[in-house]
Amino acid sequence: MRGFKGVFMLIVTNLLVFLTLIISGGILINFVLPAFGIDMRGSFASYQFAWAMVFGFGGAFISLLMSKPMAKRMYKMQQVVNPTTPKEKLVYNTVKELAERDGVKMPEVWVYWDDAPNAFATGPGRNRSMVAVSSGLVNALRDDEVKAVLAHEMGHVSNGDMVATTLLQGLMNTFVYFLASMIARVIASAVSRGGESSFMVYFAINIVLQILFSILAMVVVMWHSRRREFRADAHAARHYGAEPMIRALQKIEALAQQAQPVEEEEGSGGLAPKDALATMKIHGKASSLFASHPPMAARIEALRHLQKN
């Protein structure tokens, strides 16, 4: 029943997003822009590019705005406002200290109950973010290692990684939609009788091209994601030294390897992969061009290089 409810909510959410983009895009392209002398309705290419931008950037930014509530719904979370336990005080006070050092507004601090040692930062901006840590993380790591992990997550916040990734994703989405549409129109016109495009042929080719171009675009987005992990590690090293972050990564990798056989025996069983939020975690699978995180060995090597310099 819970799985069915999750699927239903996902479908409803996507339909609402789609309708929002259709309505707002139609108003923007047909009324708002022409009122300012920008009429993109004159040619098919301009019109398609305008809609590609609406869906490309619109979808990406709606996802960004929904990132905090979505994260809170995925885990059983509790916000830390007035910390009472030693671990709560460690997490809250560290985030507060880092926010003051980095000159950003204090993020929301959340803890959630999960044996897996994870932490993530998300939110629509540097001053509207949240940092969350799992119970498994604070219980498995020493205090200085927990502080290093929190500094890593605050690195994402202070570097503006969430917005930067959204802009890149929006740009990639725009070109995926636009190029797929234009190429599909040319091919459909060529194969249809009399040179007139068949809608069904156009639609089928457009879908296939969107899938292919999305795969290529994902390579670029994941490359950027791996780069930002190195920057966040460096941020942690600047605040608390490289060694605590190195030890934290080593422990997290060891614990993840221990848990992997259990996950494989249990099977997926869910509606999404276990790493569906990999870009919001301290670690993730890192074995291909589509990995959101670099290999742990590469991250540790980069941190050791910082130690020497």
What's the start-to-end Cα distance of the chain, in Å?
55
Structure token digits, residue 177: 């939609």
Please state, in angstroms and rounded to a whole number, the distance separating the CA atoms of residues 1 and 17: 24
DSSP per residue, 187-249: HHHHHSGGGPPPHHHHHHHHHHHHHHHHHHHHHHHHHHHHHHHHHHHHHHHHHH-HHHHHHHH
Q: Is 153 a catalytic residue?
A: yes
Residues 6+ apart with CB under 8 A from 206: 180, 181, 184
Please state, in angstroms and rounded to a whole number, the distance separating the CA atoms of residues 194 and 91: 68
H or E element that contains 139: helix 135-140
Residue from 97, 100, 108, 153 carrying the catalytic annotation: 153
Cα angle 108, 110, 115 (rounded to 5 degrees) comes to 155
Residues marked active site are found at 153
